Structure formats: C-alpha cells, structure tokens
Structure 1
Amino acid sequence: MIHQASRALFGQRARRRWLHLIVGGALFMPFWMVGSVAMGPLLDEGGLFVGGIGAQFGAYAVGLPLVAVAALFPLARPMSVAAARALCGVPADRFADSPARGWEARARTAGWFSLHLGAGALVSGATLALPPFAVSVMALPFSSALRASELGRFWGLDRPWWDWAALPAGFLMLLALAAVAAATGALLARQAPRLLGPGPSERLAAAERRAAEAESRNRLARELHDSVGHALSAVTLQAGAARRVLDGGAGADLEFVKEALTAIEETTRRTVGELDGVLGLLRRGEEAAEGVGPGLDALEALVRGAGPQVALTVAGDLAAVPEALSREAYRIVQEGLTNAARHAGGEPVTVRLDARTEELEITMENPLPARPPVARPGGGRGLIGVAERARLFGGTAQAGPAAGAWRLAVRVPR
C-alpha cells in the first residue's frame, strides 16, 4: 500500500503530469504580466513582482479570460494535444490531432487551455514557493539564526520544544504539495479526452475516412483476387488440357498443345502487368485508385486465354461503356470465367454482353457438371465480389442453377 501511494505521488506518470502543470504555469506568465499591468493602477501598487497577494490574484483573474480568448485560435488544440499526449498518460487515440474547427471544438479547447494554464499557474507557484519554505521550517531545530528570524518568531520561539515539530511539519508540507500536484494532474488527465478529443462531427468524419479506407482495401483485395485467381485457374485448365493431349501418345494434337501454351503465356504476361498495377497502387496510395485495371477493350484476350471452350457474344458498342464501369465489367467477366474453370469441369461456357440499352447486361452460362465440385475450405469470395462490383454502380447480380445450367446474370446502369 505504501509502495502504491509513493508511486501515485512520485512515479513516472505523476512526475510527467507535474511537469505538464509547470509547462502550463510557464505559458500563463505572459497573461499574468498583462493582468499585472492592468491591476497595478487599480490597486496603486507598483511593479510586476512587488505587489501584494491581492494584486497577484487580481492579475491571475484578469489573465484567465485572456487565456480562453487565445485558445480560440485553431492551432491551440494541436499544441495542447502534443503536450497532453506526451505528459498526461492518456491513450493517444483519444485525442483529436486536427486544428479546432467550429465553435463547439474551439469552446472545448478554450476550456482545456484555461484549465491547464490556470491550474498550472497555481501548482507552479506552489512548487517555487513551498519547498524553500518547508526546508527552512525543517531546519529550525538546527539553526539559531533561523529561530531568531521572522520565520522562527512565526513558528513559536517561546516554546523551544515546539521547534522539533517543525521537522514533520515541513515534511508534510512537501508531501501535501506532491499530493496536490498528483491530484491536479489526474484531474487534467480525466478531462483531456473530453476537452481535446474529437466532437460528434469529427467522429463522423473519422468514421467516413475509415469506411473509405476499408472500401479501398476491399477494392484492392477484389483486384488481386480476380486477377491472380483467374490467371491461376486459366493456367491450370490449359496446362491440364495440354497434358491430357500429350498423354495420347504419338497421335497427339500438337497444334492444340501449342495453342494451350500460347494461352498460358498470354494469361501470365497479362496478369503480371495487372499485378504490377495493383502493387504500384499500394505504393502510391489512394490518389491512383480510380485508374487501376483493364477494361472491356481487353475482353477478347481474356476470353481467348480462358480456352476454346469459352464462346463470347457481344451486342452493342462496348467502347461507349464508361471507363469505370468498363473496368468493373471486365472484372465481373473475369471472376465468372474463374468460377467456371474451377467448378464447370471443362464444360463449354457462353459469355454474352449486351450494351444496346441503358443497362449493361452480362450473362454467363455453363452446364452443371455431372459431379458437384468439392467446396474449398472456408468458401470463396468471388460471387460476393461480383455482387459488390454491381452494387457499386447501382446494379444487381444473380447467380445460381437455372434450367439445368449455372447462370450468372448482372445488370448495371450505364
């Protein structure tokens, strides 16, 4: 218990908070001097440092409103937060780092600045004045000069036995100073998050930023999933087909093997380029997010790399599709082909795009395999990503068995 009490009064956190109060007292000095100049003529006392106790507290009372006015400037909050974060022992994420915007945030900052500098001035004054006085009191039993001084007469010269009570009295004075500093520092630490933390509008803005960052991460995850996942599925399919043809022996269709190897080469080259684009986006940051990925102009190469069992039909002018929608439509087709390569068992796949109306329609179908595919542990996120891409433009996506086939249908407004 004694250890806990000593730690609360003299531990590292208590010392830092005490230093924080002394910094507040130092910052209060210019305001106190202005108050002294204002109070001097009123109380008919000269000089900044020779006035009585009434003049000192009068200057203090004049300086506090000036502190509140100075704290209305936006940059007062970042400076206060920097000091409080370093010295108050409050978790850093509970502060608002931006300058105070709006009267509500400025009023809270003014309250904090007034509390910090006002309390700091009192604790700093006590820190400067009380220790020398307490040490002098504790020295009374050992110094005849001190006992003959004004301090000795105040303490009680006519009672010599009482001089020895000065030892514990001086010690208690120092202990009381430490207790007051620790309690005041704890008070400021409790009030710091409320007065220097984000307000409702700032918390809303922070939530919106987090949502935007999460959406950016999700978009990058979709890009990587669709690009790399499709490439691996297509390469696996083409390599498996080439191997089966070569297993046929001397009568193997070498032209088919050549086409499969060419498709593997094109797919991997295209995917490496897409991967470089996504990784470049991660390095550059969010400013390049809107321009990543191929569009529908690369659709034929995508279908060609998926193999001869994929048939593409296009109605309308795909070049008229907006660029952002074109990129998302490409990824939707890519994910559909990836799913077909994984689950269709080599069945033919038809891909139809219709851009003749105000909506872009994407339809992909393949016969249901005779044997249901083995589900991957944890499932996949391909169809979820397709639905997210469609909703991004206000569209819809439906996937499931239909008339003996697996059908993916996406409709997106242009």
Structure 2
Amino acid sequence: MPRFLRPLTRAVTYTRWVHLVVGAVPTVIGSFIVGVHTDSPARWALLALLPIPLVAAVGLVPAMRLAEGHQARLMLFPGRHARRVGEESAEPVIVARPAQSWRDRAVTALWMVLRLEAGSLVAYLTVQAAATTLTFAGAVVGEDPGSDSVVSVHGAHWAYLFLVPLPLLVLAYVAAGVGALMARTALRALGPSPAERLAVLEERTEHLLEHNRMARELHDSIGHALTVAVVQAGAARAANSPEFTDQALAAIEDTGRAALEDLDRVLKVLREPGEPAHRRPTLAEADRLLDSARASGAKVDAEITGPVDRLPGPVTREAYRILQEALTNVLRHAGSVPVTVRITAEERRLLLTVSNPLSGTSLGVGSGSGLRGIRERATLLGGKAKAGPQDGTWLLHVDLPVS
C-alpha cells in the first residue's frame, strides 16, 4: 500500500479525530448558545478562546489528570495504551492517576487548553468539510444544499463530482497530522513526572516485597508441614503402636490443614491482587506450633512472658514465622530432642530464643535457606537474629524492636 494512503487506513487516525472533537465540546456548546454559524471563522475562533479560563480551572482538579490519562491511552494510542517505555521499565507511557503535585495540575491544565484549541480547529474543519462536500454534490445535480460552507460554487456541472471526496480527504490528513502532534505532546504533558515515577517505583518495590514475603511464608509453612509429616510417619512406624499412630496422624492432619490454609491464602492474593488477604497467624497462636513439635516427639520446654497479644501486627506475625522455622529446623536436623523456647515481650523489644542439644546432623546448618529467611525477617523489622553452636547446644536468638 502506498505510504501516503496509510493515514486513511489506520484506525488511530479516526480515534485521534474523535479525541480532538470531544475536546472542542465547550466551543460547540457555545456556538449553539449564541447561534454562531460555521461560515464565520472569526466568531468561531472567539468562541474557542472564551472557555480557556474555565477549562484551565477544571484542569487544576487532581482527578482530571486521571480522566485525561485514560482518554489519551485509549484514543491517542489505541492498541498500545498498556505498552511500557522500554522492555524492562515498569513506567507507563501515559499516566492515569490523579495529580500528585501542583506541577502536575498545571501541566494538565495546559494540556486541556491545548486540546480545546486543537479540537476547536479540527471541529471547525470537520463541519466545513461536510458543508463543502454537500456544496460540491449539489453543484453536480444543480441544487443548492443551503450549507454554511465558506466555498461557494456558481453554476452546475458534472465535473464537480470529482471534487466531492476532496474535502473529506483533506480533513482526514489534517486530523492525522494534528492527532500525531497531540500524541507526541501527550507523552510529555501526561507522561510520568518525577514524583509519579517515584510513586510507580515505590509501588513496584512494594509488590516485589510482598511477593518475596509470601514466598518466605510458603517456604516456612509448607516446609514445617512436610517436616512434621515425615517425622511423625517415621516415629509411628518405629513405635508400632496403634495409639501413637493415631496421635501421629492427628498431628499430620492439623499441620497439613494449616499449611493448606496458608497456601490457599497466598494463591488467592497472587491470582486476585485486589482481594484482601486472609488473616495471618500471630505469636498469640504459638501454642499450635509448640503442640505440633511435641506431637512429633520433641520435648519442648516453653516459657512465654509479657503481653504477647498486644504486639504490633508486623512484629507478631513475623515472630510466629520465625518460631515456626526454628522448630522446623530442630525437627529436620536434630530430630526428637529437648527444645527450649523462651519468648519475652518487653515494652520496646521482643526476645525469642530457641535452643536444642547439638547432634551429628545439626552441626554446620547455619547457612541454610531457613536461617537465611529468619535473618531477613528480623532485618526487615530492624532487628537482629543470631544462630550457631554455643556450649554444646544450637542456639537461635532473635531480638526484634516493638516500636
């Protein structure tokens, strides 16, 4: 297809024309109110200038940047409104969010004024193109259509038939050119400002942190459930006791059910980001973890002091996962050994200590992914976590700030 015909066959030419004409609504309404005919360019230009203060004032409303952004995405860039700047960038071409600063408001107001003037020009040319087309068509058959065209034709002749499509073709090329200029302008006026770029990066960071947190939770929850299941199944087979087997199956069932609840919660958040997450377990439910470890054969000596139920949400939820991973590591690497758990909730800090006797399989486990996850959780909360052998025991000590 010849290059000069491409604007006539591209859908974007006509969506941009609609976008421009819609921007001229204040001018069109004014022409109906005062009764200005389209064959009066000077009056039409005056009507295009009168709404500028009102349009600029409306453009200062923060929500207008959101509305203009959506319109520009859908009509100036149809088919690519979701495209990003660069393959690896998370920044949108056109921002569709309320204005975050007075700079964004001012730029939006200037954009709306420019759209008003460009749209008024295209709207006037559209009416003139239609009127001129009717004038040429009437000249072919010798009738006066009574249009407001600035072009006048005297007499009638069949040759005017070749001029009938000319005004519409000129309009299409003008609309394509003005639309392309407006699209380029929109990239600058409605593109992300420095504040909006920062907001996008913050949202992306929060999204990645949330996914990282959910991955750690799945690791801790599923890993704990599988460890308990393996330990309980092995102990039940070794004990060869129906009573102990029933207890082991009950422990496996409870732990597996809790893990399935965690898995369902995380998958729901991943599939439907707008859905609120189910309640996450807190340190006030530590007895469930302790009972699960005892049912697996570990002799757990636990002591919980202080107002654990009044801890801040992030602290108590992360402390629960830290305790879960610590008990899982004991069962996985040391087996059914005595475990000492001390949890102390003070006014400004939460102290959590888990210790167990060293065994041949518990030596040199300080670099596993479980302990790395514990350290990451503590660091994100501004705390510290230390783990290692001490006086014949494996000791995990976690210090988390409460405020």
| Fold conserved between structures, TM > 0.5 | yes
Residue in 2 aligned with 1:120? Answer: 119
The answer as to 2:328 corresponding to 1:329 is no
Query: Which letter maps to 2:375?
Result: A
Residue in 1 aligned with 2:49? Answer: 61
The answer as to 2:217 corresponding to 1:223 is yes
Task: Tell me, in whole angstroms, the C-alpha distance in 1 between the residues paired with 2:58 and 2:254.
Answer: 66
Contact 2:282–2:319, Cα closer than 8 Å, also in 1: no
Task: Tell me, in whole angstroms, the C-alpha distance in 1 between the residues paired with 2:359 and 2:53.
Answer: 79
| CA distance 1:370–1:70, shift in 2 (3 Å) | closer
| CA distance 1:383–1:74, shift in 2 (3 Å) | same
Residue in 2 aligned with 1:303? Answer: 290
Task: Tell me, in whole angstroms, the C-alpha distance in 1 between the residues paired with 2:265 and 2:132.
Answer: 72
Residue in 2 aligned with 1:80? Answer: 68
Residue in 2 aligned with 1:348? Answer: 337
Task: Tell me, in whole angstroms, the C-alpha distance in 1 between the residues paired with 2:368 and 2:6.
Answer: 54
Residue in 2 aligned with 1:339? Answer: 329
Residue in 2 aligned with 1:361? Answer: 352
Greater displacement, 360-369 / 12-21: 360-369
Residue in 1 aligned with 2:87? Answer: none
**What displacement does 1:380 show?**
7.5
Query: Which letter maps to 1:303?
Result: L
Q: Which structure has greater helix proportion? A: 1
| CA distance 1:333–1:175, shift in 2 (3 Å) | same
Pairing 1:376-395 to 2, within 5 Å after superposition: 381-395=369-383
**What displacement does 1:18 show?**
1.5
**What displacement does 1:244 show?**
2.4
Query: Which letter maps to 1:338?
Result: T
Deviation per CA, 1:211-236, whole angstroms, max 9, x where unpaired? 33444444444333322321221021
The TM-score with structure 1 as length reference comes to: 0.73
Residue in 2 aligned with 1:41? Answer: none
**What displacement does 1:116 show?**
1.7
Contact 1:359–1:413, Cα closer than 8 Å, also in 2: yes
Query: Which letter maps to 1:314?
Result: E
**What displacement does 1:355 show?**
2.1
Residue in 1 aligned with 2:106? Answer: 107
**What displacement does 1:117 show?**
1.9
**What displacement does 1:237 show?**
0.6
Residue in 1 aligned with 2:182? Answer: 188
Task: Tell me, in whole angstroms, the C-alpha distance in 1 between the residues paired with 2:167 and 2:261.
Answer: 74
Greater displacement, 277-286 / 81-90: 277-286
The TM-score with structure 2 as length reference comes to: 0.75
Contact 1:216–1:286, Cα closer than 8 Å, also in 2: no
**What displacement does 1:321 show?**
6.8
Contact 1:343–1:373, Cα closer than 8 Å, also in 2: no
Task: Tell me, in whole angstroms, the C-alpha distance in 2 between the residues paired with 1:385 and 1:411.
Answer: 15
Query: Which letter maps to 1:205?
Result: A
Query: Which letter maps to 2:216?
Result: R
Residue in 1 aligned with 2:198? Answer: 204
Identify unmatched segments of 5+ residues in structure 2.
Answer: 83-91, 145-150
**What displacement does 1:180 show?**
1.0
Task: Tell me, in whole angstroms, the C-alpha distance in 2 between the residues paired with 1:265 and 1:191.
Answer: 62
| CA distance 1:105–1:30, shift in 2 (3 Å) | farther
Residue in 1 aligned with 2:81? Answer: 91
Contact 1:340–1:349, Cα closer than 8 Å, also in 2: no
Query: Which letter maps to 1:304?
Result: D
Contact 1:33–1:59, Cα closer than 8 Å, also in 2: no
Deviation per CA, 1:17-56, whole angstroms, max 9, x where unpaired? 112222223343235678xx6xxxxxxxxx6338844333
Deviation per CA, 1:340-371, whole angstroms, max 9, x where unpaired? 33344x36253332528655032334535359
Deviation per CA, 1:221-279, whole angstroms, max 9, x where unpaired? 43333223212210211111111233xxxxxx555545434533443455566667767
Contact 2:350–2:399, Cα closer than 8 Å, also in 1: yes
Task: Tell me, in whole angstroms, the C-alpha distance in 1 between the residues paired with 2:101 and 2:178.
Answer: 29
The number of aligned residues is 378
| CA distance 1:383–1:167, shift in 2 (3 Å) | farther
Task: Tell me, in whole angstroms, the C-alpha distance in 2 between the residues paired with 1:369 and 1:240.
Answer: 19
**What displacement does 1:16 show?**
1.4
Q: Please give the secondary structure, in 2, of the residue aligned with 1:389.
A: helix
Task: Tell me, in whole angstroms, the C-alpha distance in 2 between the residues paired with 1:10 and 1:18.
Answer: 14
Greater displacement, 317-326 / 223-232: 317-326
Deviation per CA, 1:114-148, whole angstroms, max 9, x where unpaired? 222211111111111124425645886x56789xx
**What displacement does 1:181 show?**
0.6
Over aligned residues, Cα RMSD in angstroms? 4.1
Contact 1:317–1:356, Cα closer than 8 Å, also in 2: yes
Task: Tell me, in whole angstroms, the C-alpha distance in 2 between the residues paired with 1:314 and 1:405.
Answer: 18
Contact 1:23–1:120, Cα closer than 8 Å, also in 2: yes
Task: Tell me, in whole angstroms, the C-alpha distance in 2 between the residues paired with 1:269 and 1:360.
Answer: 29
**What displacement does 1:409 show?**
3.1
**What displacement does 1:401 show?**
5.8
Residue in 1 aligned with 2:301? Answer: 312
Contact 1:347–1:369, Cα closer than 8 Å, also in 2: no
Q: Please give the secondary structure, in 1, of the residue aligned with 2:182.
A: helix
Larger radius of gyration: 1
| CA distance 1:151–1:355, shift in 2 (3 Å) | same
Residue in 2 aligned with 1:19? Answer: 18
